[in-house]
């Protein structure tokens, strides 16, 4: 049961961490050690990226992002950049054709979702997290939730 919880990508990260701690105490099946080591590494990377030393989580994730790469394009929440970094993907700027952001749009639900899911260690994990965390936007998805089309 603990192994299933620890490896469940839909389980909250704090629950997965607790399951890992419990597995350390009771002993994990030998055949699962590789997957659990990978999970520990992914959780460690997430913690290092999303929790800068001396910074509260809400300050880290909601800090103003880097300047947009396209003039007039709305910036993505910092959680988007951190999620890409966690997956080992390069930064992605807004396309030039994106309209300015509506100042009334809050990305709180997206930020919370990304914070509570693994984005890495690979692109497949990143894509799964983005597909889940972008669902609440519905048809009005921001540019950072749209799949990137090749030029």
Give the per-residue SS3 of the chain.
CHHHHHHCCCCCHHHHHHHHHHHHHHCCCHHHHHHHHHHHHHHHHHHHHHCCCCCCHHHHHHCCCCCCCCCCCCCCCHHHHHHHHHCCCCCCCCCCCCCCCCCCCCCHHHHHHHHCCCCCCCHHHHHHHHHHHCHHHCCCCCHHHCCCCCC
Q: Are residues 42 and 78 in the same domain?
A: no
Phi-psi domain of 42 (left: phi exceeds 0; alpha: psi -120 through 50; beta: other):
alpha
| Per-residue pLDDT, 126 | 95
Asked whether residue 150 is assigned to any structural domain, the reply reads no
Based on the fold, state whether residues 38 and 92 are members of the same structural domain. no
Domain end: 50, 72, 89, which one?
50
Residue numbers of the domain that contains 113: 57-145
Check whether residue 101 and residue 35 sit in a common domain: no
- Is 8 in the same domain as 81? no
Place 141 in a pLDDT band, splitting at 50, 70 and 90. confident
Residues above pLDDT 90, as percent of the chain: 50
Is position 16 within any domain? yes
**What are the angstrom distances between the C-alpha of 127 and each of 9, 118, 119, 132, 137?**
13, 11, 8, 9, 16
Whole-model pTM: value is 0.75
Residues 33 and 79 both lie in one domain: no
Q: Tell me, what's the pLDDT at 67?
A: 38
For residue 33, being part of any structural domain is answered with: yes
Interval 90-128: pLDDT, tens:
988 777 776 666 666 778 999 999 999 999 999 999 999
pLDDT of residue 97: 74
Residue 151 forms part of a structural domain: no
pLDDT at 35: 92
120 with 46, same domain: the answer is: no
pLDDT in tens, 43-73: 999 999 887 655 454 444 444 344 344 455 5
pLDDT for res 63: 42
More confident residue, 10 or 70: 10
Among 6, 23, 142, 148, residue whose Cα is nearest residue 79:
142
pLDDT of residue 53: 54
Q: What pLDDT does 146 receive?
A: 82
What average pLDDT does the structure give for the chain?
A: 81
With beta carbons less than 8 A apart as the criterion, state whether 83 and 77 touch: no
């Amino acid at each position: 049961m603990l192994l299933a919880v620890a490896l469940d990508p839909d389980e909250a990260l704090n629950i997965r961490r607790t399951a890992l701690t419990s597995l350390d105490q009771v002993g994990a099946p030998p055949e699962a050690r590789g997957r659990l080591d990978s999970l520990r590494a992914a959780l460690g990377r997430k913690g290092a990226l999303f929790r800068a030393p001396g910074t509260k989580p809400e300050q880290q994730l909601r800090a103003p992002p880097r300047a947009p790469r396209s003039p007039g394009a709305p910036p993505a929440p910092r959680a988007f950049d951190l999620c890409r970094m966690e997956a080992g993907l390069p930064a992605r700027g807004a396309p030039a054709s994106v309209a300015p952001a509506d100042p009334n749009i809050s990305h709180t639900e997206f930020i919370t979702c990304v914070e509570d899911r693994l984005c890495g260690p690979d692109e497949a994990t990143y894509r799964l997290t983005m597909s889940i965390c972008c669902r609440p936007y519905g048809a009005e998805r921001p540019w950072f939730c749209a799949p990137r089309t090749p030029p």
